[in-house]
Amino acid sequence: MLNEVTATRYVTPLREGGSLPGIVEADDLGTYVMKFTGAGQGRKTLVAEVICGELARRLGLRVPELVTIQLDPVIGLGEPDQEVQELLKASGGLNLGMDYLPGSIGFDPLAYEVDPAEAGRVVWFDALINNVDRSWRNPNMLVWHGDLWLIDHGATIIWHHNWPAAESAAAKPYNASDHVLASFGPDVAAAAAELAPRVTEELLTEVAAEIPAEWLVDEPGFESADALRRAHVGVLLARAATIHERITLGAPTEDKPSRAPGWLKERLAPLPRPAGQDETHDKDGDQ
């Protein structure tokens, strides 16, 4: 079970997040990034956050601690923003919290080097969960104390939005060409050899048990939360075995060797090179 805390203060909205997550303080004196059940994307986003975040953690990838947060919307009464007020009012009860990493910065592929082994593990994992939201446009990774941390697994396991078609959706390949780590030479084969055998039915069952039952009830075609948990396990188990054969990593083209955003490259281009560094050692050229 995830730890459960109670929100004591709504601090501020995180406007860069599409779902308007907020920073809250809780009765364990922790500070969390809170994702709301009343947000437009609904509770399935939170289900995906739990199953993927907890699986990633058990595979040795860094994910901030996840908790469930009890919310009494009354804590937001003084909040001047109407959008926030409405979100809080629609989210009474159990919500999701992620430990807030103070001082972390958003991952920038031009400023932080990732070795091929770690890049491979992240790309393989994202292929497994079909994460379409770790591109250079929106990396959804933080750098904290010099390490890479994964956040935001809401836009994953798309098959859980349409269970009757889940089996065929899960068989689909994963195109990692736009992945923010594609340009770091991810060693996907090594990652698959290391991680796929660890994605067992037992591990997935343990992870699925972390999803609060109240986010799983009333799914058409499933008589219980546990039945739906088993469906989650089945899809990921099948996908883990073979997904590495279906990952595409687009070859970088000559005029666009890096997948970094154009505006960032333009901004960096006029900077003088450090003494002794020639053209061939340009970071983009290495990738």
Ligand X SMILES: Nc1ncnc2c1ncn2[C@@H]1O[C@H](COP(=O)(O)OP(=O)(O)OP(=O)(O)O)[C@@H](O)[C@H]1O
Contact between residue 137 and residue 106 where contact means Cβ atoms under 8 Å apart: no
Task: Answer with the entry of ligand X, Mg ion, none that 16 interacts with (C-beta below 5 to 8 A by kind).
Answer: ligand X
Cα torsion at 100, 39, 218, 50 (round to 10°)? -20
| 132, interface contact from Mg ion, ligand X, none, CB < 5-8 Å by kind | none
Report the C-alpha dihedral over residues 58, 64, 67, 71, rounded to 10 degrees. Answer: -160
Q: How far is the CB of 144 from ligand X (least distance, A)?
A: 8
CB of 279 to ligand X, least distance (A): 34
- Sole binder of Mg ion in the list 131, 140, 183, 258 (CB under 5 A): 140
The helix/strand/coil state of 282 is coil
Residue 138 Cβ, how far from ligand X at the closest point, in Å? Answer: 5
Give the range of 15-23, 185-193, 201-209, 256-264 binding ligand X by CB under 6 A. 15-23
| Beta bridge partner(s), residue 26 | 7
**Binding of Mg ion by 152 (CB under 5 A):** yes
> What is the pattern of x (binds Mg ion, CB under 5 A) and - over residues 96-135?
----------------------------------------
Q: Which residues pair with 248 in a beta bridge?
A: 175
Q: Quote the CA–CA distance of 128 and 242 in Å, as a whole number.
A: 9
Choose which of 6, 70, 85, 138 interacts with ligand X (CB under 6 A). 138
Smallest separation, CB 104 to ligand X (Å): 5
Q: How far apart are CA 71 and CA 27, in angstroms?
A: 11
Tell me how far CA of residue 212 lies from CA of 24, 27, 103, 220, 225, in angstroms.
20, 20, 30, 18, 9
Of the candidate residues 22, 53, 64, 186, the single one contacting ligand X (CB under 6 A): 64
Q: Which residues bind ligand X (CB under 6 A)?
A: 14, 16-19, 21, 33, 64, 98-101, 104, 106, 133, 138, 140, 142, 151-152, 154
